[in-house]
Amino acid sequence: MVLHLVHPVALFVVLQVVFASRFVGHEGIQGWSFPVYVLQFLGAWAVFYSTLLRDMGFVSRVGAALCLWAALVLGVSYIVARDPYALPTSVVQGLFAAMLSPLLPVWAFTFQRWRRLKARHTQEPVASDPGDRS
């Protein structure tokens, strides 16, 4: 295990916070703070489960994909406009839709996969001899 790397969940959260803080107070997201935070939390949870699956020895690229997606959308938001308050409401809502739309399905997939693989991982090993209970 490499101890000096940034944890993927921390990277994902930082990217989400930087993205959302660019648009705080914009009329395009007024009244949508709670759903936005819930989806961001589910995205961080998906990255966390992906990391746990990887640590258990299973291949899981979901965390890296979500971090790259968040970085891409954040980059696009800076390319589209340096001043986020100059953006029309439809563009801001489109950026939020792009950032948040994959989070719920990816969380559901990762959570289901985590439960399935954890159950398989924690099952009692099959004994080769009926008397062998080790």
The predicted pLDDT at position 120 comes to: 81
The predicted pLDDT at position 2 comes to: 52
Task: With cut-offs at 50, 70 and 90, classify the pLDDT of residue 52.
Answer: confident
Closest CA to 70 of 100, 50, 32, 25: 100
H or E segment and range at residue 114: helix 103-122
pTM above 0.85, yes or no: no
Average pLDDT taken over every residue of the chain: 86
| Distance from the Cα of residue 132 to its chain's centroid | 43
The average pLDDT across 63-70 equals: 94
64: left (phi over 0), alpha (psi -120 to 50) or beta: alpha
Buried b (16+ CB within 10 A) or exposed e, 111-133: eebbeebeeeeeeeeeeeeeeee
d(CA 86, CA 73): 18
Closest CA to 43 of 54, 51, 2: 51
Residue for token digits 């993927």? 8
Q: Cα torsion at 6, 83, 31, 63 (round to 10°)?
A: -20
